Amino acid sequence: MSMIKCVLPVLEMSCAVCANNVETTVKNLRGVQSAVVNFATEDLLLTYDPAIITLEEIAAAVEAAGYGLVVGEEEKEKQREAAATRHFKSLRNRVVVAWLFALPLMAVSMGCMHTPHIEWLLLALTLPVILYSGRDFYVHAWKQLCQRTANMDTLVALSTGVAFLFSLAMTLFPQYWKSQGIAPQVYYDAAGMIIAFVLTGKLMEERAKHNTSAALKSLMGLQPQTAMKITADGMCEVNIATLKTGDRILVRPGEKVAVDGRVVEGESYVDESMINGEPIPADKTTGDTVMAGTINRDGVLTVEAQAVGAQTVLAHIVRRVQEAQGSKAPAQRLADRVSRRFVPAIIILACLTFVGWQCFYPGDNRLAHSLLTAISVLVIACPCALGLATPTALMVGIGKAAGEHILIKDAVALEKMGQIDGMVLDKTGTLTQGRPEVVDAVWLRPEERYAAPLARAEEQSQHPLAQAIAAHWSSHAREKTFAIERYEQLSGKGIEFEVQGETLRIGNRAFMTASSLSPDLETKIASWQAEGKSIVFYGNREGVIAIIAIADKIKESSHEAIARLRKLGIEVYMLTGDDTATATSVAQAVGITRFRANALPQEKEDFVRSLQSGGKTVAMVGDGINDSQALAQADVSIAMGQGTDIAMQVAMVTLISSDLRLLSRAVLLSRRTMRIVRENLFWAFVYNVVCIPVAAGVLFPINGWLLNPMWASAAMAFSSVSVVLNSLRLKWK
């Protein structure tokens, strides 16, 4: 059995170290090929062999490690949302209670510290903060200890626990401490305020993290929850989870389509902009395909389901975004290595700080200073900032790209996209529409008489040029009723057919009975050919009736897209299998100076490789099988995708919309995202490198200054929040 790849929500993680613990636990299981946990998204990106291990067994291992894993496919998003809602409400309530008691605790400590027996009031104010607001810190720390691991909760539990227990001992046994020559001192305010500040930081962090996933939530919100199913007994509203392939649903005006399917009855305009970015609604009639998440704007449609649930195009897009957001960029590796060893290192450093002050402090309050500095070191250290630095930026960047119809496969693709300095474009379907259209025509006989037979005859041919002609004059064919009496296709020439006793021909010039044309027409034909247009002649036994020019139209966005790429310092190249004349015409029209015509698939690959040999980081943009070799060779492969084809794309980046200006947008998003990542990592590292020594008391010999544990906790909370807020800047760029 083949490997299965899935994204599963992880519950009860409190910091980046938790994510590392879950990841390590799952990776060590037999049958798991890969496991990546993203703390920002709270997701596990899992690849496993179902023949060796089940999801239930993986979930049990995660639970044994002190966390939760949602494995039910149908209910996982509901469970995730329910768990997130419960967690946020609980966190909010604990923050309220913490500050409700911490503020008077602080006020009493500062104003009435020398009042007799005041420590008992301070103890009473501290207990609700410790037992209710801070309870989870101690529970999670104990679970981690049982698993021989440690996380952020361990640091908070240790710091507040030591401060509280020391203060409790001073309160219960003051005479003992006096007999040892130590003046009783309590630090209930430190314990209470640390918990209040840390919880407030977590609440702010949760709010900010919620905003980072807004783009993904928006995509998921496109899927309707119910559909009007057509049965033998009539119609009934059902949950979309119950729909199966082959079921028929009714889609009324204003409703979202619930499945990928085929229209079997009705006509309407369907807004597909949320999927492919095309602003003009698509005309849908019997036989046309529709996609889940699109909106029916006009008539009533009966749709037969061809893909439902997780198999729809929309579901594929959501899954790709989830997987991309859960992936790790190379820039995150150092942060991950540091995070794994962070908490044990901080505990050791706090112990050394305590011992150092005990050994070298010359004053009378040696124990108090030793205790406070050790607590400050435990509190101010923040692995969360390191853990959040990369994934939050990636979440926002990849989510924003998806919202702009750019699907990025993973974090590696996002990072490489910003490094490209050479971009190779296929012509057909990339720079051009990818389908031939009639762009010009000269009629030598009445168009009203001969257009209908032309369209009707071309409808019977599968040749792309014939289809273009049939589509262009389809209205004439519908207006008139007549029969084609004889139809013959002649290889290398064209077609000959008979309508109402008249013999007509469509094909090349040599196929025409008489092909003598005026000098003006000859000049026009030569001009068309120089522009790379295909020429089709239409005539009868008497001569030429019409001359038709057909071309693959250049996309309106192509010229501007090329200009934007050049402005970003990217060299642009065009490769095409078409002839030199067509290639030259298209290249000139879009502003490309470097191109190659008559290029075979192997030659396209060789061209990309030659650019790489010259030191360039190359992106290849294509849409066909003939581009696959070059796409595989490129540093970044970019596929053009529309409609149902998007679900099958395997490129590193896929443009759902046909707008080529998205190329420069993708490059800019990548560069800005990676700049934010570097800023976040710099801040996280600098914060810990600077603040931890300050908390340990390195400034005390210079100016006698020590960091209060309360302000240490505030700094720690701010460090995590600042990283997330910095990442959110991407949303408004």
Q: Could you give the residue numbers annotated as active site?
A: 426
533 closest CA partner among 548, 545, 516, 550: 550
Distance CA(638)–CA(654), nearest Å, equals: 6
166 closest CA partner among 383, 392, 370, 468: 370
- Alpha helices, H only, 280-364: 313-326, 333-360
Coil, strand or helix at 146: helix
- Alpha helices, H only, 411-569: 411-417, 447-458, 464-472, 474-479, 519-530, 558-567
50 phi and psi, to 5 degrees?
Answer: -65, -15
* List of residues 6+ apart from 144 with CB closer than 8 A: 21, 66, 150, 151, 153, 154
| Alpha carbon distances (Å) from 105 to 126, 129, 378 | 7, 10, 22
Distance CA(240)–CA(185), nearest Å, equals: 64
Contact between residue 414 and residue 331 where contact means Cβ atoms under 8 Å apart: no
Residues paired with residue 437 on neighbouring β-strands, in sequence order: 551
Distance CA(160)–CA(356), nearest Å, equals: 21
Tokens coding 376: 């400050």
Residue 134 is classified by DSSP as T
Distance CA(537)–CA(510), nearest Å, equals: 9
Distance CA(673)–CA(148), nearest Å, equals: 36
Contact between residue 256 and residue 272 where contact means Cβ atoms under 8 Å apart: no
Contact between residue 552 and residue 573 where contact means Cβ atoms under 8 Å apart: no
| Alpha carbon distances (Å) from 154 to 121, 151, 158, 226 | 27, 5, 6, 45
Please give the helix or strand (H or E) that residue 672 lies within, else none: helix 662-696
Which runs of E-coded beta strand occur in 49-154?
A: 68-69
Please report where in the chains the tokens 């993680």 appear, as a residue.
13
Please report where in the chains the tokens 């044990």 appear, as a residue.
344
Chain centroid, CA 32 distance in Å: 24
Side chain identity at residue 666, one-letter code: A
Tokens coding 72: 């039910």
Distance CA(36)–CA(327), nearest Å, equals: 7
| Alpha carbon distances (Å) from 236 to 230, 259, 280, 609 | 7, 16, 31, 58
313 phi and psi, to 5 degrees?
Answer: -60, -45
Length of the chain: 733
Contact between residue 305 and residue 243 where contact means Cβ atoms under 8 Å apart: yes
Distance CA(440)–CA(264), nearest Å, equals: 35
Distance CA(627)–CA(616), nearest Å, equals: 19
Side chain identity at residue 144, one-letter code: Q
Please report where in the chains the tokens 């796409």 appear, as a residue.
631
